[in-house]
Amino acid sequence: MTILVTGGAGYIGSHTCIELVKAGYDIVVADDFANSCMEAVRRTRKLAGVEFPFEKIDLTDYDATQKLFDKYQIDAVIHFAGLKAVGESGKIPLTYYHNNLDSTLSLLEAMKSHSVKNFIFSSSATVYGPEAPVPYNEATPVSRITSSPYGNTKLMIEYILKDEVKANPGFNAVLLRYFNPVGAHESGEIGENPNGIPNNLMPYVAQVAVGKLDMIHIFGNDYDTPDGTCLRDYIHVVDLAKGHVAALKKIKENCGLFVCNLGTGKGTSVLEMVKAFSKSCGKDLPYEFAPRREGDLPAFWADPAFAKEQLGWVAEKGIQEMCDDVWRWQSKNPAGFPQD
């Protein structure tokens, strides 16, 4: 079975490529390098032990996407490609809507004309919206709107896929709702490599640890949580990658629409995360409390029971392992991937 991995040079995509190869799948990787680079592909090939084909392609280009499907015999698509910075999406919403929606539509059109009927989509816990009770459960309806244009693109793509399943007999769409992916491959050869100053907690903390940034700013210490800082469900990227391999089993069962959380079921505070990372890097990391960040929810985590029941998948790696692996990646690659 050959899987097209879009965004396969990116953070979650690259780790998933390795797990797919391990599980015996053939892969074709497509990426436009908007937030990644060829060195990530080279290292992923090395870790996977396979020189899998790579295509540099902008998926919003419908003709180029059709040609990709002409060139390879694809059986399923795992669609990671997309813009993902929550804050940036509020500043350039049209770019986010255009990129994330057009690339998905272009893929779905190409799939239709090539009779490819299996699609796994990188969705997000953000689709539950601010009102959902925790832990987030798949039976909870999605929100009418999310807190960002980025989140809205996830919500809209979920609707597009639900409609396509209804209209196209035999079409399988798996919507995987990720919680907070962190961690890195245990080799320290690949990991998260954000452009510019990181927006997310883990890469920011890692860059303070390696001396690229001076100080961690903890956004809010007056939330109604045990230590006053926000709680999130951090999941190791390798566990998340394995969740995609498990989801392929559902595809083989012709699941139609299948929606599933990928999280651990545990909430960890920002302060706990900073302390765990300090242990990994062997020094107390400097932090200060800062005002709350607009749009942040106090606390959410997954109900992981459905994933266990349906996919036989459970996240195995804990917070300390996540921090140890990020530190290995960051300390081996203080400037991220070397530029080509």
Specify the residue, 68 or 155, whose C-beta has the smaller distance to ligand UFG: 155
* Catalytic status, residue 150: yes
Q: Which stretch binds ligand UFG (CB under 6 A): 62-70, 118-126, 134-142, 235-243?
A: 118-126
- Here the tokens at position 264 are 């651990």
Name the residue with the smallest CB distance to ligand UFG.
230
Backbone angles phi and psi of 41, in degrees to 5: -65, -45
Shortest approach of ligand UFG to residue 59 CB, angstroms?
19
Would the CA dihedral through 250, 234, 145, 36 be positive or negative? negative
Should residue 217 be labelled a site residue for ligand UFG when binding is judged by CB under 6 A? yes
Q: Which stretch binds ligand UFG (CB under 6 A): 16-24, 28-36, 110-118, 122-130?
A: 122-130
Shortest approach of ligand UFG to residue 169 CB, angstroms?
32
- Catalytic-labelled residue, pool 11, 128, 136, 150: 150
Should residue 180 be labelled a site residue for ligand UFG when binding is judged by CB under 6 A? yes
Specify the residue, 117 or 154, whose C-beta has the smaller distance to ligand UFG: 154
Q: Quote the CA–CA distance of 167 and 158 in Å, as a whole number.
A: 14
Specify the residue, 230 or 260, whose C-beta has the smaller distance to ligand UFG: 230
Q: Quote the CA–CA distance of 64 and 171 in Å, as a whole number.
A: 23
Should residue 46 be labelled a site residue for ligand UFG when binding is judged by CB under 6 A? no
Q: Which stretch binds ligand UFG (CB under 6 A): 67-75, 121-129, 249-257, 320-328?
A: 121-129
Should residue 124 be labelled a site residue for ligand UFG when binding is judged by CB under 6 A? yes
Should residue 326 be labelled a site residue for ligand UFG when binding is judged by CB under 6 A? no
Q: With contact defined as beta carbons under 8 Å apart, do 83 and 89 qualify?
A: yes
Q: Quote the CA–CA distance of 213 and 220 in Å, as a whole number.
A: 20
Should residue 270 be labelled a site residue for ligand UFG when binding is judged by CB under 6 A? yes
Number of Cβ within a 10 Å radius of residue 200: 15
Shortest approach of ligand UFG to residue 135 CB, angstroms?
13
Reported in sequence order, the residue ranges of the chain that DSSP labels E, i.e. its strands, are 2-6, 26-31, 54-56, 76-79, 118-124, 172-178, 180-182, 216-219, 231-232, 234-236, 257-262, 268-269, 287-290
Q: Quote the CA–CA distance of 53 and 21 in Å, as a whole number.
A: 12
Q: Quote the CA–CA distance of 61 and 103 in Å, as a whole number.
A: 8
Q: Which stretch binds ligand UFG (CB under 6 A): 13-21, 136-144, 193-201, 310-318?
A: 193-201
Per-residue burial over 237-256, b if 16 or more Cβ lie within 10 Å, else e, is bbbbbbbbbbbbebbeeebe
Should residue 121 be labelled a site residue for ligand UFG when binding is judged by CB under 6 A? no
Residue positions annotated with a catalytic role: 150
